[in-house]
Amino acid sequence: MPQIDVNGQRLCYEDRGSGTAVVLVHGFPLDGRVWQGVADRLVARGRVIVPDLRGFGRNAAQSAFTLRDLADDLAAMMEQLGIAPCPVAGLSMGGYVVMALAKAYPGIASRLILVDTKAAADTPEQKQKRDAMAALATAEGARAVADQMAPMMLASSATPQAVADLRQIMESQPPATLAAAALAMRDRDDFTDLLPTLDAPVNWVFGDADAISPPDAVAPLVARLNQGTLTRIPSAGHMAPFEQPQAVADAIAPFLT
Ligand code: MLT
């Protein structure tokens, strides 16, 4: 697996295929493996870059960072690889990172694919839950975080194998990184007012059984966009790329031609 040095971090990433590139950004508490099924289906169409974000996956654990740091890493990676501007897809927390990227680096994402994510900042109650999640990760580790998150992640139709595979990814994340990411999400910007300022087309993709980023909230967000489209993924919860990789790959593939 290739590695790249950006902003004082050595990041692991997948780099497969050739031609027009797309970057696939994972969510919390996960790593690039959650995009594997989509990447497998897109490599025939273009170059697919799947980073493990700072501190996640095969990278060294990190005890403090912001979502802007993660966006800065992506920008530096895209510049070094010579792929910018190109489409960038983000799943949930990855969507927050992609919105932070588009805000800080206008034009670097030629298209945003926002998957199972939302634009609003956390409410005070949600911020308290982030504090509790960070404390849980620190005190009890990744398995405790997985215990809490797993029931909300997948549609009820998910197979036991899918549940086990996702848990394996969640349980392998460094606890310090999970705590830092919970606090980074707590402190993220509200991106609602960013949406009407985006020049790039945005495809908002959502699992119709997403229990974390409510499907009902998506249409009003897309209405704020200059060039927004909506893709509903049936039989998917909060992990549409993991649960229904063909449908999500179909939503991204046209941007690679
Ligand atoms: C994620 O899947 O990345 C997280 O559930 C996002 C969040 O908790 O806001």
List the beta bridge partners of residue 91.
115
**Closest ligand 1 atom, residue 27 Cα:** 3
On the question of a cis peptide bond just before residue 196, with omega within 30 degrees of 0, the verdict is no
Ligand 1 binding pocket (C-beta < 6 A) is 27-28, 92-93, 185, 212, 238
- What is the residue with the minimal CA distance to atom 9 of ligand 1? 93
CA distance 207 to 192: 20
- Residue 176 contacts residue 55 (beta carbons within 8 Å): yes
How far does the centroid of ligand 1 lie from the alpha carbon of residue 27, in Å?
Answer: 6
Whether the predicted pLDDT of 214 surpasses 90: no
Task: Quickly state the pLDDT bin for 252 (edges 50, 70, 90).
Answer: very high
Segment 197-213 mean pLDDT: 95
CB distance 65 to 55 below 8 Å? yes
The Cα–Cα gap between 38 and 48 comes to: 9
Above pLDDT 90, what percent of the chain?
97
Q: Which of left, alpha, beta for 141 (phi over 0: left; psi -120 to 50: alpha)? A: left
Instruction: Flag whether pLDDT at 27 surpasses 80.
Output: yes
> Is the pLDDT score of 57 beyond 90?
yes
47 CA distance to ligand 1 centroid (A)?
A: 26
Give distance in angstroms: CA of 73 to centre of ligand 1. Answer: 19
CB 156, CB 209: distance < 8 Å = yes
Q: Taking residues 166-180, what's their average pLDDT?
A: 98
Pocket residue to mutate for ligand 1, from 25, 26, 28, 115, most atoms within 8 A of Cβ: 28
DSSP letter at 153?
H
Ligand 1 atom at minimum distance from 93 CA: 3
pLDDT at position 2: 97
**pLDDT tens digits for range 182-195:** 999 999 999 999 99
Which pLDDT score, from 0 to 100, does residue 61 have? 98
Give the integer Cα–Cα distance in Å for 125 and 16: 41
Tell me what percent of the residues of the chain surpass a pLDDT of 70. Answer: 100
Q: Dihedral of CA 96/161/244/34: which sign? A: positive
Model confidence over 116-155: pLDDT tens digits? 999 999 999 999 999 999 999 999 999 999 999 999 999 9
SS3 content of the chain, % helix, strand, coil (to 5): 45, 20, 35
Instruction: Give residue 28's pLDDT band: very low, low, confident or very high (50, 70, 90).
Output: very high
**Which residue, judged by its Cα, is nearest atom 5 of ligand 1?**
28
Q: At what angle do helices 67-81 and 93-104 cross, to 10 degrees?
A: 70
Please report the atom of ligand 1 found closest to the CA of residue 117. Answer: 6
Question: 64 and 53 in contact (C-beta within 8 Å)?
Answer: no
- pLDDT band at residue 215, thresholds of 50, 70 and 90? confident
Residue among 26, 33, 92 whose CB has most ligand 1 atoms within 8 A, to mutate: 92
Provide the mean pLDDT of the chain.
97
Q: How far is the CA of 125 from the centre of ligand 1 (A)?
A: 15
| Cα 184 to averaged position of ligand 1 atoms, centre (Å) | 11
d(CA 7, ligand 1 centre) in Å:
24
Q: Which of 95, 72, 57 is nearest to 7 (CA)?
A: 72
Ligand 1 atom with minimal separation from the 116 CA: 2
Tell me the CA–centroid distance for residue 19 and ligand 1, in Å.
Answer: 31
Q: What spacing in Å lies between the alpha carbon of 15 and ligand 1's midpoint?
A: 25
